[in-house]
Structure 1
Amino acid sequence: MSASPIHPDSIDSRFGDLRIRRVAGHIGGEVLDLQLGADLSDERFGHLKAALLAHKVLFVRGQSHLDDASHQAFGERFGRIVAHPTVPAPGGTRLLELDASKGGGRADSWHTDVTFVDAFPRISILRGVTIPAFGGDTVWANTARAYELLPEPLKRLAESLWAVHGNDYDYAADRTNLSAERVRHHREVFVSALYEAEHPLVHVHPETGERALILGHFLKKIEGLASGESQRLFELLQARTVRLDNTVRWQWRQDDVAIWDNRATQHYAVNDYGDQARVVRRVTVHGETAVSVDGRRSRTRRRPEASNDATVDAVIAASA
């Protein structure tokens, strides 16, 4: 069966010679006919980065040439790449591997990556290594548009508030039928070291100047509010963020790559593929502390003395 023709009205041609197919109305673009790699020219990489800032998440099909090394090398074009603070990386890499068979691969709750540290990642680059025959889609939401559509009183309230984020959030709160393996992985791996950070509910994007919400499942409590009030306000703002018209859903194929601006998105991995194998690997680009609308920066509340990133750096140095 031949591929469906691409409607010309879906093409965003603002980015040099890149052809970007709009995937949804308010977030998401598919980059057509591009081979990713560290050897992209500065001009083409600049166009790709501009397209990412505009569309928030980009998808690229058919990147079978990428392996762990070239995946990481491409990620380094965006900045310094880092390992996950608690989940061990595959040997000799800084990658995060999400393998559904090992208990940690079903990220089926809305989140922005690693907001339990003060300088959470700026960019994430996810590569489909083993994709199930059906199911396993990922959905992204536009947190900048979510803020922009708030009524003015809610904007002013959100801009004044800060919240505590931690990796020891309530893992089972919105999940049913959790397997013992998933609970074990969360307890023994994901929270093997505890982190907490304080972030403004609204931050100013350092490159676009847009204001965006920082929410997601790592948020433990909005400061200055009773726990019940904190939960109700979180639910109100979170529900606005993940409205269907503010999201894009990607149906993975083998060797697809998704690149997203972690400062302006949340995402959710749909857990509907049963016992099928699903393995994806992520390169994470180090970020900067978020800045509130009044100029204050995110701050650390709790950080272990040593992190997995330091361990990975030592392993790589020893093997060089």
Structure 2
Amino acid sequence: MTAQLSDTITVHRLGAGIGARVDGVRLGGDLSEGAVATVRDALLAHKVVFFRGQEHLDDAGQLAFARLLGEPTLAHPTVKGREHANVLPIDSDYGKANSWHTDVTFVDRVPAISILRAVELPPYGGNTVWANTVRAYEELPPALKALVDRLWAVHTNVYDYAGHVDSTRIGGVDVKEESYRDEFESQRYETEHPVVRVHPETGERALLLGHFVKRIVGLTSAESHAVYHLLQERVTRLENTVRWQWADGDVAIWDNRATQHYGVADYDDARRRLHRITIAGDVPVSVDGVTSTTVVGDAAHFSAL
């Protein structure tokens, strides 16, 4: 399905549940207000949108475009931007984010939007998959909705991710990966978020989960594990996902308040590098109007509220 939105911009839907490709847009800081509005509308409708042929962009151009969508955050609450304070390299030399997550949910001020630009791609593999957390909630049976509407979860950056670390290289431990993990966990954050948040722009309800979840509040470890995986399986059903095969010049923009994503680590020892900029978001609000609560850590330096 293709929607003609102007003389030049078209939105091509990629699946019933999530994803669209936007053509006829040259991203940058000089994009018109009308084009920016079209991109935002497509983003809210389809949760993740993709742009081909953006080879002209560098970090400065990506950042200038990002500012048209909102206020960029620092690259990360604990990991410093390697070349620019607002740009986080997603670099396979330092690890692979091959686990379902929503960006930076371990702080109270979860980013609203993420913008990812291909910089160096492997010769095969390295796709990214996104899932629609709004649709996952909407398709829950009423009894499960009644349960999850009242649940809260603790998210932390000190999480059990060891099983996903690539330790197959010579010596069993990769020094860059170990250093990156130490930096990632250099300051501990924990935040209590509602399992169901209300989207501040659309009013939709979305499941707020992913691999930063430590436990479900008020449940035993076994119960937390069972409930978490029950809901995660709903999020990541194939019918609720879209998979993007990266090409040079590609940019992906996703609504971080309504999605999870997963970088597929199927490219052996080839190099994969993409640059991410996130747009500041608000503090999530539950269905009964209660905001998330910081347990450990202050993320004020990461982004303003």
**Fold in common (TM above 0.5):** yes
- CA, structure 1 residues 41+303, in 2 after alignment: closer, same or farther (shift >3 Å)? same
**Which residue in the other structure is 1:4 paired with?**
none
Q: In the alignment, does 2:289 pair up with 1:298?
A: no
Q: In the alignment, does 2:157 pair up with 1:163?
A: no
- CA, structure 1 residues 12+281, in 2 after alignment: closer, same or farther (shift >3 Å)? same
Decide which of 44, 68, 78 is 2:35's aligned counterpart.
Answer: 44
User: What is the TM-score normalised by the length of structure 2?
Assistant: 0.93
**Aligned-residue offset at 1:90:** 2.2
- What is the alpha-carbon distance in structure 1 between the residues aligned to residue 299 and residue 132 of structure 2? 34
**Aligned-residue offset at 1:285:** 0.5
**Aligned-residue offset at 1:146:** 0.1
Describe the superposition over 1:22-50 as per-residue Cα deviations: whole angstroms up to 9, x where unpaired: 12221000011211112111111111100
Decide which of 190, 194, 207 is 1:196's aligned counterpart.
Answer: 190
Describe the superposition over 1:213-257 as per-residue Cα deviations: whole angstroms up to 9, x where unpaired: 000000000000001100100000000100000000000001200
**Which residue in the other structure is 1:205 paired with?**
199
- What is the alpha-carbon distance in structure 1 between the residues aligned to residue 290 and residue 300 of structure 2? 26
**Aligned-residue offset at 1:186:** 4.8
| Residue type at the aligned position of 2:92 | A
**Which residue in the other structure is 2:246 paired with?**
252
Matched length: 299
- What is the alpha-carbon distance in structure 2 between the residues aligned to residue 108 and residue 125 of structure 1? 18
User: What is the TM-score normalised by the length of structure 1?
Assistant: 0.89
**Aligned-residue offset at 1:303:** 0.8
Say if 1:139 and 1:250, in contact at 8 Å, map to a contact too. Answer: yes
Say if 1:172 and 1:178, in contact at 8 Å, map to a contact too. Answer: no
Say if 1:15 and 1:48, in contact at 8 Å, map to a contact too. Answer: no
- What is the alpha-carbon distance in structure 1 between the residues aligned to residue 58 and residue 180 of structure 2? 27
| Unaligned runs of at least 5 residues, structure 2 | none
Q: In the alignment, does 2:267 pair up with 1:273?
A: yes
Indicate the percent of aligned positions where both proteins have the same amino acid: 51
**Aligned-residue offset at 1:306:** 8.1
RMSD across aligned C-alpha pairs, in angstroms? 1.9
What SS class does the counterpart of residue 77 from structure 1 fall into? helix
Q: In the alignment, does 2:187 pair up with 1:185?
A: no
**Which residue in the other structure is 2:79 paired with?**
87
Say if 1:146 and 1:241, in contact at 8 Å, map to a contact too. Answer: yes
- CA, structure 1 residues 286+51, in 2 after alignment: closer, same or farther (shift >3 Å)? same
Say if 2:116 and 2:275, in contact at 8 Å, map to a contact too. Answer: yes
**Aligned-residue offset at 1:64:** 0.8
Aligned 1:141-156 pairs, distance under 5 A = 141-156=131-146
